[in-house]
Amino acid sequence: MPPLPPQPPARPWIGVYFSCCRAYARLYRTVDGTAYAGHCPRCARPARVKIGEGGTSGRFFTVG
């Protein structure tokens, strides 16, 4: 059996709870690496979390 092709590295993400629709989703890091971006899976409300120095080690957040 031939070897499997190499897999691309996993994209970093954070977990977000959208309180507008009581739904969870992942926000993935943008290509330029300056933020995590995504939207509510039910109502499409956009969310963007900037990445900066002195940030947090938290991986799960709530969006209003």
Q: Token pair 């290509």 is at which residue?
A: 31
Q: Which of 11, 42, 44 is nearest to 28 (CA)?
A: 11
Give the pLDDT confidence score for residue 21 in this predicted structure: 97
Considering only residues 32 and 64, tell me which one the structure prediction assigns the higher pLDDT: 32
Over residues 5-22, the pLDDT tens digits come to 888 888 899 999 999 999
Considering only residues 55 and 49, tell me which one the structure prediction assigns the higher pLDDT: 49
Using a 10 angstrom Cβ sphere, with 0-12 exposed, 13-18 middle and 19 or more buried, the burial of residue 28 is middle
Is 18 in contact with 24 (CB distance < 8 Å)? yes
